[in-house]
Amino acid sequence: MSRPRKSLYIVLFVVLLALALAKFRSAVDEMTPHMEQRAWPTMSTFASFATAAKGADADREQAIAAEAFREVERDFSVFNPTSALSRLNAEALVPGPAAAPAAFPSNAPLAIVVRHALRTAEESGGAFDPTVTPLLELWGFPRGSTNAPVVTAPAQEALDAALAHVGHRHLRLAETNGAVLLSSDVPGLRLDLGAIAKGFAVDLAYDRLRAAGSTNFLLCLGGNVRVSGRPAPRRAEWNIAVQDPFDPKVQRPLGAPLLDGDAVATSGSYQRFVVLDGVRHSHILDPRTGRPVRGLASVSVVAPTAMEADAASTALFVLGRPASTNYLALHPGYKAEFIDEPAP
């Protein structure tokens, strides 16, 4: 990359960080004016933190959250060839008579996230699928710097070829003697946990902050939010707003307030997309058809943990309103809010 282009990207990144921080502070100031706020870049997005702690105590709490996010990025980044997930993809998910299942402790972060990802895939009938990488690459959402630019929508033949390497049904997960064993029966299958890892990172930071004695705070990572305690001494409810999918300057109040420990995640078609043949396509793909999802602009899910909310928001976005009923019936503690795309 040439130096002028690199400088431009650095300037753009700084501007985006400043805008994200300003937007977060504006929202939090309105909700909890007495709290201190922090924001910083991490995990290819922005983290935000509001806390009732002050000064050095607030700095200490931010450091705890930031370290948790760094650990999750080290484990789950598909861009880092030494991450636990990259090693799993490169060394373990190779089928054949000589291939041994990958083994890792059942309480390891990778085991926790893979287990929940596969559970969500099964419960949603494949609407959520952690093996969707070949489709993302085909549609021009790169997982590395070597992908050629995509200028036209893929043909059905290309979709069929990619779909042959997609599907949670090709994964085998077993647990024995405190270890998780994971194997695949399809060559070229790769796990990408980007639709769930940020939620897990928020939960990890939340648990560590609570263990360290922190009580009243709000964590946000790329749209994944979890709250602890109270936003104010005499108020138990956290009134959260999410971005309007049609106007980035507008925040829509979430219908369901959050209570101590609650989490919310939003999946939408308005932030990441490609334009192919003059048509805008969302980065959220239906793993069953290989095509971008249409019909919804965003889905927000309130759940007991951020990991659950993160995975469920993607699953429900793919399922759509009518088909989401069965999934939500399996999780009566969840609350979902849908925003439709405008009529053509």
SS3 at position 111? helix
Q: What is the mean pLDDT of residues 255-260?
A: 92
Q: How confident is the model at residue 145 (pLDDT cuts 50, 70, 90)?
A: very low
Alpha-carbon span 203 to 208, nearest angstrom: 9
Alpha-carbon span 216 to 91, nearest angstrom: 43
Predicted structure pTM score: 0.86
Alpha-carbon span 56 to 337, nearest angstrom: 38
In a domain, 330, yes or no: yes
Alpha-carbon span 253 to 141, nearest angstrom: 30
Residue that is last in its domain, among 184, 217, 248: 184
Asked if 73 and 206 sit in the same domain, the reply is: yes
Q: Which two tokens stand for residue 74?
A: 């080290």
Residue that is last in its domain, among 163, 184, 205: 184
Identify the pLDDT of residue 155: 87
Q: What is the mean pLDDT of the chain?
A: 83
Task: Output the domain CATH number for residue 52.
Answer: 3.10.520.10
Identify the pLDDT of residue 5: 38
Nearest to 217, CA basis, from 231, 203, 205: 231
Q: What is the mean pLDDT of residues 127-151?
A: 73
Asked if 202 and 332 sit in the same domain, the reply is: yes
CA distances, 14 to each of 20, 152, 197, 203 (Å): 10, 32, 25, 27
Task: Output the domain CATH number for residue 98.
Answer: 1.10.3980.10
Q: How confident is the model at residue 143 (pLDDT cuts 50, 70, 90)?
A: low
Q: How confident is the model at residue 283 (pLDDT cuts 50, 70, 90)?
A: confident
pLDDT tens for 155-211 read 899 999 999 999 999 998 888 888 888 888 887 788 999 999 999 999 999 999 999
The structural domain count of the chain equals: 2
Q: What is the mean pLDDT of residues 232-260?
A: 85
Asked if 327 and 262 sit in the same domain, the reply is: yes
Q: Is the pLDDT of residue 17 over 50?
A: no
Buried b or exposed e, range 293-330, using 16+ CB within 10 angstroms:
beebbbbbbbbebbbbbbbbbbbbbbbbeeebeebbee
Asked if 253 and 225 sit in the same domain, the reply is: yes
